[in-house]
């Protein structure tokens, strides 16, 4: 009773911050897009296309962080392999963009992408068929990661693999996929991945308007994902998920089929990651097996940790903040960033278990201004 009462209070309190979050997101998107398209280059109000693309990239990362927060912050499942779903979504989009190149590639083959011509392949592999259609590619961008997440989750959660074991297995999953995608024989461009994209749905990828549209779609998707996640977490389902995080066996004994909840939440999270990947690829213009690297997946966990897990907007802020710091740092002292990142892992876990959001809330509570959000203990004691 007490726990439920606390949670209800938390949700009511969060209502305000959700609205604020969505408001800020809309404002930033509209202003940035407007400033890029309306004001001419050179004007002080002009936002360069580079910045727009950078922001779009950050929003994709934010969406990815949101995906991790949904399962880690709310359900206590620490996935170290979410980069895999992100990359799979990205590869599906990349395959569509690759087919769109048509005969404009270096070898001018209307059917085969350049790297296949280079490998002396004479026909498209079966799994490349259909990717010339946008709707099919987008469907696949959801289905492939979704099915993988379902199968993996079903296997893992049913046999009650939890905690650290699950983390390491997700890491092994993305590692295995990375090794597989590095192979030329896989038919996904091997080491180099897919690149040299020309246009999407007939729009030139280099054009400002396309860039701004992609950026706006990323923002829209981030907003929608936020609302959907918030909706799920506020529903009955969300409460069961929280119960699973805090005391899984107790929830199970109460009669909830906990593994079903976990599997579907995992699939939902994987879908968010896949959407992020599919939006990421046309904006950065390349997808390669490096995206599967375990380091990427674990780095995105630290975005969530820095922002504060279990709050959704905390994860988004963390992703944008850490990536902004990364861009600045790597430009300034390239070697320093890894030290920073490493220190971030240690400092956040020891001193800031609830992230920046938790720190701010604590300060607010201390000053007596406004009701803080008493986060349920985020210690995901496996």
Partner 1 sequence: MLKTVRCIASVMALLVLAGGVAVAADAQSETTEEATATEVTSAEPQVDSVAVATVAIEARTVPDLLRDLAQASLNETPAIVDALASSGGLSMLPLFQAMLAGELYYERETLRILRIAENEAGDDVASDVLTDADLGPVNARDYRKVRINNRVRGQLRDAIARINLTEGSADQRRAAATAMLDGIDDSTVAAFEQALKTETDAQVRDVIEVGIAMAVLKSAATESEQLVALEQLDGRLEAPVRNLLTSIAESSGDGRPTAVQRQAAAIVSGINARIEHYQFLEQLFFGLSLGSVLLLAAIGLAVTFGVMGVINMAHGEMLMLGAYTTYVIQQLMPQSINLSIWVAIPSAFIVAALFGMLIQRFVIRYLAGRPLETLLATFGISLILQQSVRTIFSPLNRRVISPDWMSGSWQINPVLSLTNNRLYILAFSLIVFFILLLILKRTSLGLNVRAVSQNRDMARAMGIRTDIVDAMTFGLGSGIAGIAGVALSQLTNVGPNLGQQYIIDSFMVVVFGGVGNLFGTLLAAFSLGVANKFLEPVTGAVLANTFILIFIILFIQKRPKGLFPQKGRAAE
Closer residue to partner 1 (CB): 161 or 216: 161
| Residue number, 51 or 192, with CB nearest to partner 1 | 192
Q: Which of residues 21-80 bind partner 1 (CB under 8 A)?
A: 76, 78, 80
* Alpha carbon distances (Å) from 233 to 77, 261, 280: 15, 12, 26
Binding mask 173-202 for partner 1 (x = CB under 8 A): x-xx--xx-xx-x-----------------
- Residue 55's Cα: distance from chain center in Å? 14
- Cβ at position 310, least distance to partner 1 in Å: 13
Do 174 and 84 form a contact (C-beta atoms < 8 A)? yes
How far lies 31's CA from each of 25, 48, 174, 252, 307, in Å?
Answer: 10, 12, 37, 48, 24
85 scored as a contact of partner 1 (CB under 8 A): no
**What stretches of the chain adopt beta strand conformation (E)?**
194-195, 199-200, 203-204, 286-287
Of the pair 108, 163, the CB lying nearest partner 1 is at 163
CB of 246 to partner 1, least distance (A): 14
Residue closer to partner 1 by CB (options 1, 350) is: 350
Site for partner 1 in 318-347 (CB under 8 A): 335, 338-339, 341-346
147 binding partner 1? (CB under 8 A): no
247 binds partner 1 (CB under 8 A): no
Q: Which stretch binds partner 1 (CB under 8 A): 44-52, 118-126, 128-136, 150-158?
A: 150-158
- Which tokens in the block code for residue 100? 């769109």
Residue in 3, 106, 139, 155 binding partner 1, rule: CB under 8 A: 155
Judged by beta carbon, residue 125 or residue 163, the one nearer partner 1 is: 163
Of 5-13, 204-212, 215-223, 349-357, the segment contacting partner 1 by CB under 8 A is: 349-357
d(CA 329, CA 335): 9
Which x/- pattern over 288-307 shows residues binding partner 1 (rule: CB under 8 A)? ------x---x--xx--x--
How far from 372 is each of 84, 270, 322, CA to CA, in Å?
A: 36, 31, 24
Contact call for residues 311 and 16 (beta carbons, < 8 A) = no
CB neighbours of 265 closer than 8 A, spacing ≥ 6? Answer: 70, 71, 74, 75, 77, 232, 241
Q: How many residues bind partner 1 (CB under 8 A)?
A: 48
Q: CA nearest 7: which of 368, 379, 381, 374? A: 374
> If binding is defined by CB under 8 A, does position 382 make contact with partner 1?
yes
Q: How far is the CB of 103 from partner 1 (least distance, A)?
A: 32
CA pair distance 323, 306, nearest whole angstrom:
11
Contacts of residue 82, defined as CB under 8 A and 6 or more positions apart, other chains included, come to: 64, 67, 68, 170, 269, 270, 273, 297, 300
* Residue of the chain from 18, 29, 100, 167 that contacts partner 1 (CB under 8 A): 167
Task: In angstroms, give the least distance from the CB of 66 to partner 1.
Answer: 18
Nearest-approach distance from CB 163 to partner 1, in angstroms: 6
Token couple for 108: 């001018």
Buried-state track 224-251, b at ≥16 Cβ within 10 A, e below 16: ebbeebbebbbeeebbbbbbbbbebeeb
Looking at the DSSP assignment, which residues form a beta bridge with residue 286? Answer: 195
CA dist., res. 373 & res. 315, Å (int): 16
Decide whether 218 or 296 has the Cβ nearer to partner 1.
296
Contact residues: partner 1, CB under 8 A: 76, 78, 80, 152, 155-156, 158-161, 163-165, 167-169, 171-173, 175-176, 179-180, 182-183, 185, 294, 298, 301-302, 305, 335, 338-339, 341-346, 348-350, 353, 379-382
């Amino acid at each position: 009773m007490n726990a439920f009462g606390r949670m209800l209070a938390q949700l009511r309190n969060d209502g305000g911050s959700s609205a604020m979050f969505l408001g800020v997101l809309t404002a930033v998107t509209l202003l940035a897009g407007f400033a890029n398209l309306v004001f001419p280059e050179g004007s002080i109000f002009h936002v360069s296309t580079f910045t727009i693309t950078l922001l779009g990239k950050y929003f994709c990362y934010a969406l990815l962080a949101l995906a991790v927060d949904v399962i880690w912050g709310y359900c206590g499942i620490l996935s170290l392999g979410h980069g895999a779903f992100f990359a799979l979504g990205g590869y599906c989009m990349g395959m569509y963009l690759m087919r769109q190149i048509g005969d404009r590639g270096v070898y001018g083959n209307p059917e085969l992408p350049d790297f296949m011509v280079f490998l002396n392949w004479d026909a498209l592999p079966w799994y490349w068929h259909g990717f010339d259609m946008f709707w099919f590619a987008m469907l696949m961008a959801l289905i492939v990661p979704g099915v993988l997440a379902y199968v993996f989750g079903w296997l893992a959660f049913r046999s009650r693999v939890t905690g650290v074991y699950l983390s390491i297995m997700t890491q092994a999953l993305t590692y295995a996929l990375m090794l597989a995608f590095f192979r030329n024989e896989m038919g996904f461009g091997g080491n180099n991945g897919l690149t040299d994209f020309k246009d999407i749905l007939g729009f030139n990828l280099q054009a400002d308007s396309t860039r701004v549209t992609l950026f706006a779609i990323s923002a829209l998707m981030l907003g929608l994902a936020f609302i959907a996640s918030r909706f799920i977490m506020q529903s009955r389902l969300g409460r069961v998920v929280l119960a699973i995080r805090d005391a899984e066996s107790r929830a199970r004994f109460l009669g909830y089929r906990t593994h079903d909840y976990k599997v579907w939440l995992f699939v939902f999270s994987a879908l968010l990651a896949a959407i992020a990947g599919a939006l990421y690829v046309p904006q950065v213009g390349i997808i390669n097996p490096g995206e599967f690297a375990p380091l990427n997946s674990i780095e995105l966990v630290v975005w969530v940790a820095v922002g504060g897990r279990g709050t959704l907007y905390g994860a988004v802020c963390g992703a944008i903040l850490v990536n902004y710091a990364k861009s600045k740092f790597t430009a300034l002292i390239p070697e320093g960033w890894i030290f920073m990142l490493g220190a971030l892992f240690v400092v956040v876990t020891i001193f800031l278990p609830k992230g920046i959001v938790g720190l701010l809330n604590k300060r607010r509570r201390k000053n007596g201004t406004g009701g803080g959000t008493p986060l349920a203990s985020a210690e995901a004691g496996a």
